[in-house]
Amino acid sequence: MQLTSSLPERIAVEPTSEKTTAVVELRDVGLCYAGRPPVQVLEGVNLSVRRGSFVSLIGPSGCGKSTLLRIVAGILPVTSGSVLVEGGSPLQAQRAHRFGFVFQDAALLPWRSVQENVELLGELVGLTPDERRDRSSALLSLVGLAGREHLRPSQLSGGMRQRVAIARALAINPSILLMDEPFSAVDEFQRELLNTELLRIWNDQRNSVLFVTHNIEEAVYLSDWVCVMSPNRGRIVELIPVELERPRASEVRVSPEFLALRSHLREVLVR
Ligand SMILES: Nc1ncnc2c1ncn2[C@@H]1O[C@H](COP(=O)(O)OP(=O)(O)O)[C@@H](O)[C@H]1O
Ligand SMILES: [Mg+2]
């Protein structure tokens, strides 16, 4: 298998692109946190994410992965370069509720039931109670939590809480899912299960996903493209296409193609 072959038709991320099919487009992005001294976290970052693709960002701690997600989400304005989300500004996309977020900590409201947590965003965007209930039931089934609607977050395991966070993120049908190390606080066994579940859900929903992780295996298993960021101002050192067949069974993790990609990624990361 070629690790840096030409772009497959269904998925494509290019370092730079003039194409309008990109759902997220970063051009020469720089980000400097104000302070004494100021901290230049990102510089010259170019990335184009095609609609419906699953892209992972991987890199050492502190290289700017979360910063990059915050920029895409319209939470942080860039200090140089430009960002387009669905052809507009990140802030416009945020206001149009185009994003779903999942973080390391599920951050559920403890006084609300599972179902009420999932319905929260629907309330904010004005869905009717019936619409909210239909959607939350469907999503809770999708994430494997049917029958647990009335439990409180404190009655769930860490993995179950992350499933609720995923259902909540999908509740307003976002076109872009931003996930920042969503499974890093669960054990290895749970992580594998959640990875498989996430792919099943993504297969059903087909949102575009930007997924931040430290975990090489997770990045390869989930992604169409793995984007390796350098500790040097977040520069993208390599974009690695993952051409493993979809849908991907968990067993793919022991295939020769998977193992080759994993060791290549490890080399790039320690280079
Ligand atoms: N609000 C902030 N002000 C100043 N520096 C920050 C701020 N947030 C993050 N940083 C710094 O920016 C760098 C990148 O942070 P972050 O994007 O969180 O990295 P990652 O998610 O890859 O671990 C780190 O060196 C961090 O200390
Ligand atoms: Mg981070």
Does residue 240 contact residue 228 with C-beta atoms inside 8 Å? yes
What pLDDT is recorded for position 124?
86
Distance 41 CA to ligand 1 centre (A): 7
Task: Provide the H-helix boundaries in the chain.
Answer: 65-72, 90-95, 114-124, 129-142, 158-170, 188-205, 216-222, 256-270
Q: Which ligand is nearest to the CA of 61?
A: 1
- Phi and psi at 112, nearest 5°, equal -105, 150
CA–chain centroid gap for 209, Å, is: 4
Closest Cα partner for 211 from 243, 169, 164?
A: 169
Angstrom distances, CA of residue 85 to CA of 45, 162, 168, 205, 208: 15, 26, 21, 19, 11
Instruction: Tabulate helix, strand, coil % of the chain (nearest 5).
Output: 35, 25, 40
Which residue's CA is the nearest one to ligand 1's atom 9?
Answer: 67
Q: Is 87 in the pocket of ligand 1 (CB under 6 A)?
A: no
Per-residue pLDDT of the chain in tens (271 residues, 90 and over written 9): 333 333 333 333 444 444 458 999 999 999 999 999 999 999 999 999 999 999 999 999 999 999 999 999 999 999 999 999 999 999 999 999 999 999 999 999 999 999 999 999 888 888 899 999 999 999 999 999 999 999 999 999 999 999 999 999 999 889 999 999 999 988 899 899 999 999 999 998 889 999 999 999 999 999 999 999 999 999 999 999 999 999 999 999 999 999 999 999 999 998 8
Residues linked to residue 83 through DSSP beta bridges, in sequence order = 26
| Residue 233 to residue 30: CA distance in whole angstroms | 9
Q: What is the pTM for the complete model shown?
A: 0.91
| Residue 145 to residue 143: CA distance in whole angstroms | 6
Tokens encoding 242: 């993952």
Amino acid, single-letter form, for residue 219: A
Three-class secondary structure of residue 80 per DSSP: strand
| Residue 71 to residue 78: CA distance in whole angstroms | 7
Q: Is 67 in the pocket of ligand 1 (CB under 6 A)?
A: yes
Q: Is 115 in the pocket of ligand 1 (CB under 6 A)?
A: no
Q: Is 213 in the pocket of ligand 1 (CB under 6 A)?
A: no
Which residue's CA is the nearest one to ligand 1's atom 26?
Answer: 62
Residue-by-residue DSSP string for 225-247: EEEEEPTTTT-EEEEEE----SS
Q: Which ligand is nearest to the CA of 58?
A: 1
